[in-house]
């Protein structure tokens, strides 16, 4: 069943959620037992979309430098790791509780929602004062809210038969590269900059995991930790390729008005004193969103966090924010953090293991530039940004390279050898692409169904196919159709996905008017 288009586009979140759960993108985890907020299951389409995003990310970022590699690690880590990283002490969110119904809220979010102002980085006294001055009350029952206190967001586990070991679920994938740094650096090229990426789970006991799929308690991060020489922070190997490239920045001083400054990397370096290594990586992140994921330029900005808002160890911090209708504007999906030597330094001190490197005659603890992405938030952003409503259909206009299904095969009828020929084509294409066989209901209805989940191309096998070995290839966005030889399908579709061929030139035009369903 296809979701009904909402002509006013008013309740986009609800429509996307309906499509997501009905068609198998994602839905609450353990929902038959009454799901718990902040935990979600990816269905078959969502898993594919997530993997497409992850693979695009992996291919892009790991190819930025010959010394960038990927590792995989445990989710459960010893307590000492988080003493070394500082999470046990500092990984806290401000919490307030209703005096009467005892519902707990994240205080900064509660204030921001009520007063529409940014209070990031304020301490518990300042947040309590704002709540009192503005007479904020419990949004659930209207009673008084208790003073703000800090709440540690890590999940603690008791490990071993007697539960003698206290361990924690990692709250960020970043710790894994720091712990593995020494071994990997020695096993690999011993070159700086040296990058270690992880795509893996992170766990945070979020106080209010609202916003549906956006703030989760178990989520996936894709992070690249780049270890570099701090004396070379104002150098970037490929600077000439990015120096004239314009970044879209929302500087800390302009956050309240949301003003965007478009500025070249060279100007950002000279005028804003953003070091070249940092600006270069910002350019690469922006190009990833615009060129690889096809995000419209106006929907992306880097938001600068000032000293109060960013973690104490971050010397520079820009979030990547995407403009999403479902979340009422620009929201964080990733961050570029200059974490100094905080991480390796902390682990060296607590583990007593030397984490320095020797390059030439210099011995030092590398500094870290972190490119940190929330995969699930990015998946949601794709669904928000690429969702379209047209009078006869709803669709996701995902770029072909990231859509969950590349091609749907539609046998016109289920008789006269058409299913057999379709099955052969399905099998042939399945070796190269993600293919789906859709063989029930009218052709028009099947087109709508595939549009609804963002399948860029459809192939109809009909009676002519039996005679001349051609099929109809349909383009999701334009609904145009061309006739293509079965033998040409693989190279043609490859070129279409890679945007090396215009659809109209992919075959002989078919004059087709799709019927309204
Ligand atoms: P927020 O301010 O929204 O809580 P954060 O600044 O704490 O996020 P980071 O610690 O910088 O987030 O994590 C890097 C990325 O991981 C974020 O940009 C975001 O995309 C993702 N992320 C963080 N927390 C969550 C969460 N609870 N659910 C889903 N994704 C998350």
Ligand 1: residues with CB < 6 A are 172, 204, 206, 215-216, 219, 221, 332-335, 372, 374, 376-377
Helix, strand, coil percentages for the chain (3-state, nearest 5): 35, 30, 35
Judged against a pLDDT cut of 50, whether residue 7 lies above it is answered with no
Nearest alpha-carbon partner for 96 in 144, 37, 153, 154? 144
Query: Atom 19, ligand 1: which residue's CA is nearest?
Result: 374
Span from the CA of 327 to the centroid of ligand 1 (angstroms): 15
Q: What is the mean pLDDT of residues 269-275?
A: 98
**Confidence (pLDDT) at 274:** 98
> Which pLDDT band holds residue 8 (cuts at 50, 70, 90)?
very low
In this prediction, residue 515 carries a pLDDT of: 55
202-215: average pLDDT? 88
Secondary structure (3-state) at 461:
strand
CB neighbours of 177 closer than 8 A, spacing ≥ 6?
A: 71, 184, 196, 197, 198, 223, 225
- pLDDT tens readout for residues 462-487: 999 999 999 999 999 999 999 999 99
> Is the Cβ–Cβ distance between 208 and 80 less than 8 Å?
no
| H-helix or E-strand spanning residue 47 | helix 44-62
Q: What atom in ligand 1 is closest to the CA of residue 337? A: 11
Q: What is the pLDDT of residues 176-190, one digit of tens each?
A: 999 999 999 999 978
Residue reference for tokens 């799929």:
213
Query: Which of the listed CATH numbers 3.40.50.300, 3.40.50.970, 3.40.50.800, 3.40.50.1950 matches domain 396-510?
Result: 3.40.50.800
Mean pLDDT across the chain: 94
392: exposed, middle or buried (Cβ count in 10 Å: 0-12, 13-18, 19+): middle
Core vs surface per residue 293-304: b (16+ CB within 10 A) or e = bbbeeebbbbbb
Cα torsion 401, 403, 405, 410: sign: negative
Q: Could you read off the pLDDT of 415-463 as tens digits, one per residue?
A: 999 999 999 999 999 999 999 999 998 999 999 999 999 999 999 999 9
Per the CB < 8 A criterion, the answer to whether 356 and 227 are in contact is: no
Q: Enter the tokens of residue 280.
A: 């270069």
Identify which of 335, 369, 376 to mutate to test ligand 1's pocket (most ligand atoms within 8 A of the CB): 335
Q: 209 C-alpha to center of ligand 1: Å?
A: 12
Which atom of ligand 1 is nearest the CA belonging to 335? 18
Protein residue whose Cα sits closest to atom 20 of ligand 1: 374
Atom of ligand 1 nearest to the CA of 332: 18
Q: Cα separation of 186 and 183, whole Å?
A: 5
> Domain spans of the chain?
7-91+153-384, 396-510
**Kind of pairing between the strands at 300-304 and 407-411:** unpaired
Neighbours of 497 (CB within 10 A): 19
Q: What is the pLDDT of residue 9?
A: 39
| 281 pLDDT more than 90 | yes
Q: What are phi and psi of 9, to 5 degrees?
A: 65, 20
Looking at ligand 1, which residue's alpha carbon is closest to its atom 16?
A: 374
Residue with token string 């066989």: 437
What's the pLDDT score for residue 3? 45
Strands 470-475 and 435-437 turn out to be: unpaired
**Position 308 confidence tier, pLDDT thresholds 50, 70, 90:** confident
Name the residue at shortest CA distance from atom 31 of ligand 1: 374
Between the CA of 163 and the centroid of ligand 1 the distance, in Å, is: 30
- DSSP string over 270-330: HHS---HHHHHHHHHHHHIIIIIS---GGGEEEEEP-TTTS-TT-SEEEEEEEEEGGGTEE
pLDDT tens digit sequence for 37-81: 999 999 999 999 999 999 999 999 999 999 999 999 999 999 999
- pTM here is 0.93
Mean pLDDT of 292-298: 98
Cα 374 to middle of ligand 1, angstroms: 6
CA distances 216 to 40, 201, 205, 221, 377, Å, are: 8, 11, 9, 12, 9
Element (H, E) at 132: helix 124-133
Ligand 1 centroid distance, CA of 436 (Å) = 34
Atom 22 of ligand 1, nearest CA residue: 374
Distance 142 CA to ligand 1 centre (A): 30
Which CATH fold would you assign to the domain 7-91+153-384?
BirA Bifunctional Protein; domain 2 (3.30.930)
Determine the residue of 26, 86, 91, 377 to mutate for testing ligand 1's pocket, defined as the one with the most ligand atoms within 8 A of the Cβ atom.
377
The SS3 assignment for 38 reads coil
């Amino acid at each position: 069943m296809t979701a009904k288009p909402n002509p006013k586009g008013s309740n986009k979140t609800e429509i996307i959620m309906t499509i997501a759960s009905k068609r198998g993108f994602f839905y609450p985890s353990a929902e038959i037992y009454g799901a718990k907020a902040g935990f979600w299951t990816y269905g078959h389409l969502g898993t594919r979309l997530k993997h497409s995003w992850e693979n695009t990310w992996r291919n892009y970022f790991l190819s930025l430098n010959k010394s960038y590699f990927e590792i995989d690690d445990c989710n459960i880590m010893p307590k000492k790791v988080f003493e070394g990283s500082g999470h046990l002490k500092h990984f806290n969110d401000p919490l307030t509780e209703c005096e009467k119904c005892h519902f707990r809220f994240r205080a900064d979010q509660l204030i921001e929602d009520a007063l529409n102002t940014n209070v990031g980085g304020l301490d518990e006294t300042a947040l309590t004062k704002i709540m009192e001055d503005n007479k904020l009350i419990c949004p659930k029952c209207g009673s008084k809210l208790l003073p703000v206190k800090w709440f540690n967001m890590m999940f603690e586990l008791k490990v071993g038969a007697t539960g003698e070991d206290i361990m924690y679920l990692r709250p960020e994938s970043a710790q894994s590269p720091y712990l593995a740094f020494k071994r990997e650096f020695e096993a690999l090229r011993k070159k700086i900059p040296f990058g270690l990426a992880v795509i893996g789970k992170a766990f945070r006991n979020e106080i209010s995991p609202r916003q549906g799929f956006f703030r989760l308690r178990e989520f996936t991060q894709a992070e690249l930790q780049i270890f570099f020489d701090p004396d070379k922070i104002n150098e970037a190997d490929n600077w000439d390729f990015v120096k004239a490239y314009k970044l879209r920045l929302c500087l800390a001083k302009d956050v309240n008005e949301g003003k965007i400054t478009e500025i070249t990397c060279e100007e950002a370096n000279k005028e804003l004193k953003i070091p070249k290594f940092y600006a270069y990586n910002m350019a690469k992140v922006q190009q990833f969103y615009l060129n690889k994921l096809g995000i419209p330029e106006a929907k992306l900005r880097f938001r600068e966090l000032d000293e109060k808002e960013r973690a104490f160890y971050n010397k520079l911090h820009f979030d990547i924010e995407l403009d999403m209708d479902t979340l009422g504007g620009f929201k964080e999906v990733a961050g570029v953090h200059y974490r100094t030597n905080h991480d390796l330094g902390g682990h060296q001190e607590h583990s007593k293991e030397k984490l320095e490197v020797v390059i030439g005659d210099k011995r030092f603890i590398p500094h870290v530039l972190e490119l940190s992405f929330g995969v699930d938030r990015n998946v949601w952003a794709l669904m928000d940004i690429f969702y379209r409503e047209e009078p006869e259909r709803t669709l996701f206009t995902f770029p072909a390279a990231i859509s969950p299904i590349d091609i749907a095969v539609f046998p016109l009828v289920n008789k006269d050898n058409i299913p057999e020929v379709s099955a052969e084509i399905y099998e042939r294409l399945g070796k190269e692409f993600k293919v789906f066989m859709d063989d029930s209901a009218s052709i028009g209805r099947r087109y709508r169904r595939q549009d609804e989940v963002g399948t860029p191309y459809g192939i109809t096998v009909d009676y002519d196919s039996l005679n001349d070995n051609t099929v109809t290839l349909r383009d999701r966005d334009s609904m145009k159709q061309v006739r293509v030889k079965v033998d040409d399908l693989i190279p043609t579709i490859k070129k279409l996905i890679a945007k090396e061929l215009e659809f109209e030139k992919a075959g002989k035009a078919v004059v087709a008017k799709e019927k309204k369903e």
